[in-house]
Amino acid sequence: MKKEVKEPQMDHFSIDLETLHTRYDAAILSIGCAQFDPMTGKIGLQFYREIDFDASIKHGAVSGSTLRWWSGQSDKARRIFGTDGKVGLAQALDEFTTWMRARSMAPKVWGNGATFDITILEHAYAVGCVGLQPPWHFTNIRDMRTIVDVAGVDPGAWPFPKDGVAHNAAHDAKRQAEIIAACWQKIKKSTFPGGEPEKTREQMPNQPVEKVDSPGNSGPAAATAGDDDL
């Protein structure tokens, strides 16, 4: 009897926002997210919500230059300013949290820029959905631009699907996941040219830091890292 082979759980999530500013407190128009496996490039389930315009600007900043930028985008991209299928910001964040937690207890979230998508979302949780925390731990935040630089990949040259719409959060999130996976695999291949070891840091469970004797202290120092260590 053949042993059933379980597919590895996909704990990586590419997030894209469409916004009305570039600051940390930007008004959010839509949230897109694609679950993926960076080792294989496989795309899992996707999440997409469009935010009611009034709710968006109530909880976030609006920039004239960003509005001008939107006016120059395609008709398909600018459909985000329509009225159909919108939800409030709190509802969108609540549904996003539920969706992600159902898929991973330790999600690793990727944004395009260290201070854009994830930072803006965390601010939205604080002001638009008081009492609800983001479904990720701060140590599991990842940046696409960093891995792109390390891998030497030009994301601008990455082909956009024929049926995809640039500046649609769902389509952009999926494309970002594909680029991240390509970078990941390129780096892994150059790091382990003879094949990757059976257990890498990514696959190993979190291990507590070994206790050490701290100079000036009579006993061993507490070693488990936590929020207060930052």
Measuring CA to CA, which residue among 123, 92, 121 is closest to residue 109?
Answer: 121
pLDDT of residue 220: 34
Domain ranges of the chain: 12-191
DSSP β-bridge partners for residue 18: 30
Asked whether the predicted pLDDT for residue 4 surpasses 80, the reply is no
How sure is the predictor about 129, in pLDDT bands with cuts at 50, 70 and 90?
Answer: confident
- Which two tokens mark 178? 């594909």
Name the nearest CA neighbour of 179 among 200, 204, 150: 150
Residues 59 and 127: beta-carbon distance below 8 Å? yes
pTM of the model: 0.80
Q: Is the pLDDT of residue 203 over 70?
A: no
**Residue 215 reports pLDDT greater than 50:** no
Lowest average pLDDT, out of 70-74, 102-106, 162-166, 175-179, goes to 162-166
Of the CATH numbers 3.30.420.10, 1.20.1600.10, 3.30.1050.10, 3.30.1130.10, which one belongs to the domain with range 12-191? 3.30.420.10
220 phi and psi angles, rounded to 5 deg: -70, 145
d(CA 214, CA 209) in angstroms, rounded, equals 14
pLDDT at 229: 38
62-85, pLDDT tens digit by residue? Answer: 999 999 999 999 999 999 999 999
Q: What is the mean pLDDT of residues 201-228?
A: 40
Is 90 exceeded by the pLDDT of residue 209?
no
What are φ and ψ of residue 226, in 5° steps?
A: -155, -175
- Among candidate residues 71, 75, 74, 139, the one with its CA nearest the CA of residue 107: 139
Amino acid at 152: G
Average pLDDT of span 101-120: 96
Q: Which residue has the higher pLDDT, 179 or 164?
A: 179
Q: What percent of the chain has pLDDT over 70?
A: 79
